Structures are given as structure tokens and as C-alpha cells.
Amino acid sequence: MMAESGAMPVRATKRGDERTPLGGERDVLICGASFAGLTVARELAGSGADVLVVDRYEIGERQTSACGIPTEWLRRLDLMDAERQRFDTLVMHTPHGTSRYKLPWTFSTFDYREICQLLWRDCDAKFETAKVNGRAAVAAGGTGMVGVETDRGTIRAPLVIDALGWRRMLATGDGYQPPDAPLSRGLEVHPGGESEDLAIWIDRKYVPAGYGWSFPAKDELRIGIGSFDPRFHVKDTTVALTQDLGKEPNEYQGNWIPHKLRSATEGGVFFAGDSAGHCLPLSAEGIRTALYFGIALGRELRGVIEGRQSREQAAETYAAFHDSHEWKFEWMLRVQKLIPKVPPRILAPLIRLMATKRFVDWSFTHYLRIAPPDYAGAGLPGGSAHDQDGAGQQQADAEDALGAERDLVQAKQA
């Protein structure tokens, strides 16, 4: 957590004597009980496997995001009860004017605690609070088990998932430390208030490379700043944006946000969500991608549990699925790097130009398809990521690329 986050709330966890020793072997060990970890556990419900989920806090305790997501993802996963507010328009503020983008799909804010509880409702795994310290040494001879060292003991399992966020605690060595790693930083506050506008600010007075946001969630505003440059401290300008909106900052929460994919599997461990760099560059949207890759991984692991494939086959298919998205993430990263270089006097007319219905429909439809909501309901439990994203996805990607080229030519001609 970033030092600049100010006073942090006390989080529910087991303390003192409650932290009894924890160890032994499980079929599946999922480390991290947020979007990615809970989604993997949910996909494994009913498989008969002994699944243990661990997190340093109780489920739903540690909100780190503005909790915005395409509404259809909530609907597909039967999570609509957690929805707080819905938007069909994105308001873009620049120093030279404001544009309103009418979206081809709606976007919702939700309650973090509630969504975690809803995801957990659909799981049949066990849960323990434990802090993961890293990998444990595995006995010589290689039993196929992966050991995870926690502050309550060492747990072993043949299937281990790191859904612990950007720190990627179970990696074998590619230590990532801000500010040198490809990480953005985000900080937000949650003053009470109401608004109809889902709004973002592209304004260098708040952040030289990045954006500010206000995501209303019924009775509170989630106001924050995200900087693509990890060296830029976002606290002062989070305060400035909040005060410019007539609010006082409170309840600071922040985190580092990966903007580059990392390997999907390593040393017998599977990675999903921020630990695999699944957060999208440019938008810093990492919730639906954590759900999306969590589902893909859960489907592969289920195949192992049900004896349809080996762990190695699952690793190969999941890694191929992950890798097949790399070019989309690379494109987003290119735009992320480009925007700070565009002179401000050009940025405002450009943003206005991009507000045309045709461009908004095209760009937001393609953006949604990076992790489309129908993936959640596209396959029976136990299907393979490969089935979902193999030939069919390649075909869709090819159509996307052709469509994009055609639309760009038409936009230039218009």
C-alpha cells in the first residue's frame, strides 16, 4: 500500500490467539480472496475438490478500487444486487472543454463488500485468513505439490493460484518494485454525495500522464487520480480534484496498478488478475479482466480435478489463452504512452472529434470485446479456455481487425 494513502481503516482479520496453526494438503489453494481469487473458487464449485481460499483479511474487507464495471458483467454473473448506480454516458473534461460520450453499453458502480459476498455465495470452498509470505521449499524428489508459506503455517497443494494482486507473491524471482516496474498508481477518496455523471478528467493540472475520475455510487462519490508514471505522487491532486468538486477528501484508498502482462504460469503456480498483469493499460480497468481470466483459469483447473487433463496441460492452455490477449494489451499501452505526448491544444478538439457516435460505438465495442461479458456464460462449467478462445476467438479477432481498419478509413474520409 502506498505511504501517501494517509489514515487507513482497521480491517477485519483473525488476530492473536485466533491465528491458530494452519497447514496440511489441499486439492486447490487459492491465495487472494478478491475478484480473481473468488472467481476461480466459484468456477470450482461442485467439482468435489477440497479448495481452500486464503487472504490476509476477511472476504470483502479491502476495497481498493472505484468498483466500476460494464453492467453486463454483473448481469451475467448474477451479481446485480451489488450494483449501486448505472450510466449510459461518459463525461470527459479537459481544460478546453467537456464532451459527453453516449456509450453503446452501460457501466455500473457496485459495492465491494457485497460483490465479494455474492461471489462467495456461489462457492463451496473453505476460507481462512492468513498472510501469504511466499513459496515454501518443497521436499526433494518433487511430489508435484507446491508449498505456500503463510504466517499460520505451510500449506501444500498440487494446484496453487496466486490472486494476490500486483505483488505476485508466489513468483519465483522476477521481483517487481515501484517505481521502477511497469506500474501505475491510483488513489481515491469517497465523500458522500450524489451525481448523475460518470466523469473523467484529462488535465495536466491534476496529473501529467493519467486521468482523474468521479464515479458516483448512489450516495457517495469515488473521486481519484491515476498516474501512469509511478513517480508522480497523486495525493495532492486527489485532494485538489475533490475540493474542485466541492467535497472534502476522506477514506483514502490506493494501490499500485500493473499496466503490463506478466507470465500466466510459473514454477507450477497459476496467476490471475493483477498478479498476471491483467489490468488493462490506459483505462486501468482490472475488475472485469480479473473475472474473465479467473473464469478461464477455473475452467482449466476443473478439467484437472475431473481427470480430463493434467496440470501441465491446463497450464499450457491457460498460458496460451493469456498470451492470445497480449497484442490487445500492447495496443492499449501504446495509446497510454501516446496521450501524454499529445499537445493540450490538440487534445481537446481530438476528444470532441472522438465523441461522434460512430467513433464511440466502434471504440467502446472493441474495448468491451477485450474481455467480453458473454464469456461468463459462454461455456458449461468444465469447458476449456481453449474452446472459448481458440478458433472462434481468432476468427472474431480477425473480424475485429478488419472492421477497425475499415472504420478508421471511413472516419478519416468523413
Binding residues (CB under 6 A) for ligand FAD: these are 32-37, 55-57, 62, 64-69, 131-132, 163-165, 167, 169, 186-188, 224, 254-255, 257, 273-274, 279, 284-288, 290
Nearer to ligand FAD, 212 or 268 (CB): 212
The two most distant CA atoms of the chain are separated, in Å, by: 70
Nearer to ligand FAD, 96 or 366 (CB): 366
CB of residue 63 to ligand FAD, shortest distance in Å: 9
Nearer to ligand FAD, 55 or 111 (CB): 55
Nearer to ligand FAD, 169 or 348 (CB): 169
Which residue of the chain is nearest ligand FAD when measured via CB?
A: 286
| Beta carbons of 34 and 279 less than 8 angstroms apart | no
Spatial distance between the Cα atoms of 111 and 35, rounded to a whole number of angstroms: 13
CB of residue 144 to ligand FAD, shortest distance in Å: 24
CB of residue 380 to ligand FAD, shortest distance in Å: 24
CB of residue 195 to ligand FAD, shortest distance in Å: 15
Burial of 130 (0-12, 13-18, 19+ CB in 10 A): buried
Spatial distance between the Cα atoms of 408 and 406, rounded to a whole number of angstroms: 5
| Beta carbons of 14 and 129 less than 8 angstroms apart | yes
CB of residue 69 to ligand FAD, shortest distance in Å: 6
| Beta carbons of 39 and 294 less than 8 angstroms apart | yes
Spatial distance between the Cα atoms of 164 and 180, rounded to a whole number of angstroms: 20
CB of residue 389 to ligand FAD, shortest distance in Å: 19
Spatial distance between the Cα atoms of 298 and 293, rounded to a whole number of angstroms: 8
- φ/ψ of 297, rounded to 5, equals -65, -45
Nearer to ligand FAD, 213 or 362 (CB): 213
CB of residue 399 to ligand FAD, shortest distance in Å: 26
Nearer to ligand FAD, 268 or 286 (CB): 286
Nearer to ligand FAD, 39 or 47 (CB): 39
